[in-house]
């Protein structure tokens, strides 16, 4: 299957998953609603995307955007999966059942953005101490212990 | 407690200053000759620390021997950024070292937080907020020569110290702490 066929196959799947397919240089970008995320992931795995390289989130100000980057060694191509979650008590399905590599990366997103992953086997903080208040990578995070850099430096 | 510490207590109690001075000098000299170091490498400074132990710089020739076990060592070399999460582990390892023990802060991060001093939520601003530091070595990272110089200065310090209680040198922190003036203005 060539990268062209992969795009074709994904385009066929998109109405079923309610997904929007676009291109970003060499990569395919698949934007789905958070309800269809797990199914999209399963379809991608079936297609041959067997390696989850990155899980991260973006604080857009209004909501969070989850970004997953998956690659396929057999198809020699990679794809981004994006989904949006609301700001108040954000929840999204865990992709651990599909790609076990998501485990620690989702814990990191939980640690720094406070996005809860339903169905995750071990939803704990990973980098910060357990009792840490707040989610440091959110735009509205404020820590009284942080010393702000003065203007003259 | 080591047997030499008991000698120190016993002799200083009975007023045996002449004997004590001689024993003192011998013990302190021998302590200074062989400082076994515990390499507490938490970040990039550990690379320089590793380089210092190998053939080009070779700290063994100065009697400083790296030993990755806190229970066998008497100097802890803190090399690298210490995060809030790592802090309890560093403290635990320090507590496991037998007395007498010394601590070397290697690199800007362990001295004051370094480039992570401002605008960072997760980094400890200086190891001297929770450990007594004897020697500070600045640099990002310091060259092995700087570390060597720091170890030599520590050896001088160890040689001057007495086994008699109450004669240990005083440790001072470098930067003003919260509520001590200058730090508050920032």
Residues 6 or more apart whose CB falls under 8 angstroms from that of B101 comprise B73, B74, B75, B76, B94
For B39-72, b/e burial (b = at least 16 CB within 10 A) is: bbbbbebbebbeebbeeebebeeeebebeeebee
Strand order in the sheet with B36-41: B65-66, B36-41, B75-79, B102-106, B135-137
Contact B84 A128 (CB under 8 A): yes
Q: Are B162 and B143 in contact (CB under 8 A)?
A: no
**pLDDT at A74 (0 to 100):** 87
Q: Are B40 and B78 in contact (CB under 8 A)?
A: yes
Contact B85 A129 (CB under 8 A): yes
- Tell me which DSSP letter residue B107 carries: S
Contact A146 B85 (CB under 8 A): no
Taking contacts as CB-CB distances below 8 angstroms, the residues of chain B near A150 are 186
Residues 6 or more apart whose CB falls under 8 angstroms from that of B60 comprise B53
Contact A147 B186 (CB under 8 A): yes
pTM for this entry: 0.77
Q: At what angle do helices A37-47 and A3-17 cross, to 10 degrees?
A: 150
Contact B85 A148 (CB under 8 A): no
**pLDDT at A77 (0 to 100):** 86
> Can you give the pLDDT of all 153 residues of chain A as single tens digits?
677 778 888 888 888 888 888 888 888 899 999 888 999 999 899 888 999 999 999 999 889 999 999 999 888 888 999 999 998 889 999 999 999 999 999 999 999 999 999 999 999 999 888 888 889 999 888 888 888 888 876
For the four alpha carbons of B45, B50, B54 and B58, in that order, the dihedral sign comes to positive
Distance from CA of A24 to the nearest CA of B (A): 33
- Strand, helix or coil for residue A110: helix
**pLDDT at A99 (0 to 100):** 93
Q: Is B118 on the interface with A (CB under 8 A)?
A: yes
Within the 99-138 window of chain A, which residues sit less than 8 Å (CB to CB) from chain B?
Answer: 127-129, 132, 136
Tokens encoding B72: 């066998």
Chain B residue nearest residue A128, CA to CA: B85
Secondary-structure percent of chain B, ordered helix, strand, coil, rounded to 5: 45, 10, 40
Task: Residue B117: name the closest of A31, A9, A104, A148 by CA.
Answer: A148
Q: Is B117 on the interface with A (CB under 8 A)?
A: yes
ipTM here: 0.73
Q: Is A149 on the interface with B (CB under 8 A)?
A: yes
> Can you give the pLDDT of all 186 residues of chain B as single tens digits?
456 566 656 655 555 555 556 777 787 788 778 888 999 989 899 999 888 888 888 888 877 888 889 999 989 999 999 998 999 999 999 999 988 888 999 999 999 888 998 888 889 988 888 888 889 999 999 998 899 899 888 888 888 776 666 666 666 666 666 555 544 444
For B135-152, b/e burial (b = at least 16 CB within 10 A) is: bbbebebbebebbbebbe
**pLDDT at B184 (0 to 100):** 44
- Tell me which DSSP letter residue A83 carries: E
The rounded distance, in Å, linking the Cα atoms of B167 and B164 is 6
């Amino acid at each position: 299957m060539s990268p062209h066929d992969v795009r074709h196959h994904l385009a066929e799947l998109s109405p079923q998953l309610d997904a929007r397919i676009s291109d970003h240089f060499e990569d395919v970008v698949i934007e789905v609603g958070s309800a269809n995320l797990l199914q999209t992931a399963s379809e991608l795995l079936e297609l041959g995307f067997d390696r989850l390289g990155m899980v991260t989130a973006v604080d857009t100000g209004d909501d969070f955007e989850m970004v997953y980057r998956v690659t396929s060694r057999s198809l020699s191509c990679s794809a981004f999966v994006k989904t949006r979650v609301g700001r108040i008590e954000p929840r999204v399905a865990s992709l651990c059942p599909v790609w076990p590599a998501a485990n620690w990366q989702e814990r990191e997103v939980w640690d720094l953005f406070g996005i809860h992953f339903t169905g995750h086997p071990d939803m704990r903080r990973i980098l910060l101490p357990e009792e840490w208040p707040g989610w440091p990578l959110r735009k509205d995070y404020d820590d009284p212990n942080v010393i702000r850099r003065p203007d003259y430096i | 407690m080591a047997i030499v510490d008991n000698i120190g207590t016993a002799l200083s109690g009975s007023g045996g200053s002449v004997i004590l001075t001689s024993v003192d000098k011998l013990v302190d000299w021998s302590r200074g000759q062989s400082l076994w170091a515990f390499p507490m490498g938490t970040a990039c400074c550990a690379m320089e620390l590793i380089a210092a132990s190998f053939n080009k710089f070779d700290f063994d020739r100065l009697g400083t021997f790296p030993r990755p076990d806190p229970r066998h060592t008497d100097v802890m070399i803190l090399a690298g950024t210490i995060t809030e999460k790592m802090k309890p582990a560093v403290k635990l390892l320090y507590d496991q070292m037998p007395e007498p023990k010394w601590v070397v802060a290697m690199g800007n991060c362990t001295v004051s937080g370094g480039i992570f001093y401002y605008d960072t939520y997760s980094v400890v601003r200086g190891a001297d907020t929770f450990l007594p530091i004897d020697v500070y070595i600045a640099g990002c990272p310091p060259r092995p020569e700087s570390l060597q110089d720091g170890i030599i200065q520590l050896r001088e310090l160890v040689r001057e110290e007495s086994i008699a209680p109450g004669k240990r040198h005083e440790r001072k922190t470098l930067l003003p702490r919260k509520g001590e003036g200058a730090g508050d203005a920032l």
